[in-house]
Amino acid sequence: MSKIGFIGLGIMGRPMAGHLLDAGHALVTVKRGKPLASELADKGMQELADPRAVAEQAEVIITMVPDTPDVEQVLFGENGVIEGLQPGTLVIDMSSIAPLPTQEFARRITDAGGEYVDAPVSGGEGGAINAALTIMVGATDKGFERARPILEVMGKTITHIGGHGDGQTCKVANQIVVALTIEAVAEGLLFASRAGADVAKVRESLLGGLAQSKILDVHGERMIERTFDPGFKVRLHQKDLNLALEGARTLNLALPGTANAQQLFQACAANGGADWDHAGMLRALEKLADHEVGQ
């Protein structure tokens, strides 16, 4: 068993850390302004002053924070991980951040004597709670083999995509597909509702055909039941689509569907929905149609 520093105990990070504790690993984290969640404290997780202190004690460090600047601050800011990094420490970033900075972060950690792995996840809060995440890995072969036993505690589908940054590239692609599928499901249900059909039965039928998807299953149900408490927040998906659109400009690509989905998320945010679940994109389309699904 390893001593793991786990930095980032939000909606996703908290259950992920819990699985590692249940598997017998010892965990430390950075002390925050609010008390450590009781389900983690009761299992023995300890708090330390800062990322440097975490790095001084841990063999493995996992980061699960919102955005690229947050990862950079944890790793390289004042009292950051790199200041306490021990030779051979495995640093696994499971956040969803930009691929190019990831490559630079990997170089700096490697130069300091560590081993870097980018391992963003998909599956939302449910996947984290059920240890069923899809994990997309960018690493050296050695780094992947070292990280795999730890990742297997938290995830179900673990794929070594390629070198540093390739895991993050895969995650950006994932977020494009997810956003556009949410939009497709929302438009389909909105059409059916406006036409007077029973949307619950429409969804049930679609689940048996070519339109079947996990998003139609999970988020389609959210849309019909109008339960938009976040499993994955609109503002975080906006961040991921910004990565996609910035990358597209660099690569000289047109991603019109992605740009449209981003505008719909922006409409959600403009109407107070930045912290809705991303299935709440439906509400932006409902506003355009002046019709609510099921009404």
The catalytic site residues sit at: 171
Residues in CB range of 70: below 8 A, 6 or more apart: 95
Amino acid identity for residue 123 in this structure: G
254 CB burial (10 A radius; 0-12, 13-18, 19+): exposed
Task: Write phi, then psi, for 252 (nearest 5 degrees).
Answer: 60, 50
